[in-house]
A and B are shown apart, each in its own frame.
Chain A
Amino acid sequence: MKARDYLIEEAMPLFWCRGCGNGIILHALLRALARLGKSREETVVVTGIGCFGKADDYIRTHSIHGTHGRALAIATGVKAVNPGLTVLALMGDGDCATIGGNHLIHAARRNIGVTAVVANNLNYGMTGGQFSATTPQGARSSTSSFGNPESGFDLCRLAGAAGAALVARATVYHAALLESLLVEAISCPGFSLVEVMSSCPVYYGRYNGIPDPAAMMRWWQESAVPASRYAELAPEEKQGRFPIGRLGGSDRPAFSERYARVQEAAQAGAGRWIQAGTDR
């Protein structure tokens, strides 16, 4: 199948604003599914609420459009019941980090075999550009006109610390890298998170002096540094920059593997305790 075979063409054009990065992420995802030869019948896309929560409208697989912040909770249920499915949770930073942050840390801790794709546009785009849990400190938004007093989450470090099997970051400028990271993440048996720094020229860009879609792409081009090179930068050179590529993970067994052992033990007979794992 080709990438376009996963696209619901009747739903086009995309509902997102001019220059919004979400379409670039959507396209990369469709190409990743095509590269992996995923069947539409065995793939489930779960979304929540927010701009990127509309992504399932355009993807010809099974899908569940859930409530705000709960995409990962729903995806966890789907994967737990049917581990043979490929399960993707598509979220924005509002969904994943802000209202649904608790689901994120527990999905990572549980190491459930779901791929979380987070379109991080650094604000709540759909509701008018309010600051979110990833808006950088000092950045302007419709609710922080004089600069955000809070610091933004580093989602990759958060998910990595909580136990994710694979953690990676790309930007919408780095679309080819994004596609390969998605291929890697979807192939990973445990919990994987791909954070995609995405353009919101209409709100984040306009409030922060980069309202032009191409200028916003250039901003990503200049701010993102391959992880190996980022590690060698001096602290002052890291200001305003962030690493991209594969950023972490662990090789703990995935939830489904462990749960299959629990099921086997339970079916073998009552009274037998499962030996506790030692890997954490």
Chain B
Amino acid sequence: MAKAKKRFRVTLNRAWCKDCGICVAFCPAKVFEAGERGEALVAREEDCTGCQSCVLRCPDLALEVEEATPSQAAEAVTHGG
């Protein structure tokens, strides 16, 4: 059986985020997207490779990336992620 792809949880703290767009511009896996008002959105969490570069470059400490627990990963698969 092929090894399951690692899943990551990307948590954006909306109360700390100032929508600067740095995560949207620099994520190598294009996980983020800017919304209609330029707000940062976690659009494709399933594509996250866990590189942490968004966490390191977020000027507002608003991002956290953690490896998903097996149950969270399974849930993501169920929801078509």
Contacts and interface: CB of A to CB of B under 8 A. Distances in A.
B25 A217 contact: yes
Contacts of A12: 15-16, 61
A206 to B, nearest CB: 14
Nearest to B24: A214
A7 interface: yes
Contact of B25 (A21, A28, A175, A214): A214
A26 interface: yes
B59 A23 contact: yes
Contact of B61 (A20, A23, A199, A212): A23
Interface in B45-81: 53, 56-62
Contacts of A27: 56, 58, 61
Contacts of B15: 12-13
A24 B20 contact: no
B22 interface: yes
B19 interface: yes
Contact of A28 (B21, B26, B56): B56
A23 B21 contact: no
Interface string A192-227: 000000010000000000001110011000000000
A14 B20 contact: no
Interface string B1-22: 0000000000000011011111
Nearest to B64: A4
A19 B22 contact: yes
A213 B53 CA distance: 16
Nearest to A217: B22
Interface string A213-250: 11001100000000000000000000000000000000
A176 B57 CA distance: 9
A100 B70 CA distance: 53
B77 to A, nearest CB: 29
B16 A20 contact: no
Contacts of B18: 13, 17-19
A153 interface: no
Contacts of B24: 214
Contacts of B59: 14, 16, 19-24, 172, 199, 213
A27 B54 CA distance: 12
Contacts of A22: 59
Interface of B: 15-16, 18-22, 24-26, 53, 56-62
16 contacts: A13-B15, A13-B16, A13-B60, A14-B16, A14-B60, A18-B18, A18-B20, A22-B59, A23-B59, A24-B58, A24-B59, A26-B61, A27-B61, A175-B57, A214-B25, A218-B25
